[in-house]
Amino acid sequence: MEKNNSILQNESKVKNWIVFVSVLVPILVAVLLFMPQKVNVGAEWVYFLPHLNAVINSAASIALILGLIFVKRKMYNYHGATMSVAFVLGAIFLVSYVVYHGAAESTSFGGEGWIRPVYYFLLITHIVFAAVALFPILFAYYYGYTDQRVKHRKVVKFAYPIWLYVSVTGVIVYLMIAPYYTH
């Protein structure tokens, strides 16, 4: 609890960092996506990253679902562990996503007919929720980590469904666009 007390003493600084990171990350991702010139990493290995990202998102989705099961069963240590796994997987995903989109052109969806609007609906809602997800996720994680359960529960009502939706739709969007990757 000593570690939590020192964090709580600096809570306003932590909250400022959460807000800063929650604003900065989507801006940086948008800049990377729309850069006129991609970064040359000198290798083809970046084209493996979308496949890796789908595996990471799948594992994060499983961790999120297990986290919910554990908290419903009042198995708080397991809940914390699985949510930490989901959090770390999310961070790894973000780095991989940034590297890929900083180095490779985006792939266009080639589907036709009824599947096209379904794909774009999922993609657009995924992007919108992903852009705002970091803010409630970071606060939920912080409140959980510092054992502020009342605040944690209030934020999780928003953070969890957004996080799970972004994670699951990330996998679905990948599966829908995977046939159109050229590398």
Contacts of 51 (CB under 8 A, 6+ apart): 174, 178
Which residue, among 126, 124, 99, 138, has the nearest Cα to 20 in the 3D structure? 138
Inside any domain, residue 170: yes
> What type of residue is 112?
E
pTM tops 0.75: yes
- In this structure, is residue 157 part of a structural domain? yes
Is residue 2 in a domain? no
Is 21 a domain residue? no
Please report whether residue 35 resides in a domain. no
For residue 35, the SS3 value is coil
d(CA 14, CA 147): 15
The proportion of the chain whose per-residue pLDDT surpasses 70, expressed as a percent, equals 95
CATH number of the domain bearing residue 167? 1.20.120.80
* Residue at token pair 């605040």: 151
Look up the domain containing 73 and give its range: 43-180
Assigned token pair, 180: 């159109």
For the chain, give the mean pLDDT.
Answer: 90
- Is 1 a residue whose pLDDT tops 70? no
Structure confidence by residue, pLDDT tens digits, 157-182: 999 999 999 999 999 999 999 888 87
- 155, 141 Cβ separation under 8 angstroms: no
CA angle centred on 142, ends 81 and 174, rounded to 5°: 65
For the four alpha carbons of 19, 85, 129 and 162, in that order, the dihedral sign comes to negative
Tell whether 148 is covered by a domain.
yes
Tell me the H-state helices in the chain. Answer: 2-9, 11-33, 49-72, 76-103, 115-145, 149-177
| Domains in the chain, number | 1
pLDDT tens sequence across 105-122? 888 889 899 999 999 999
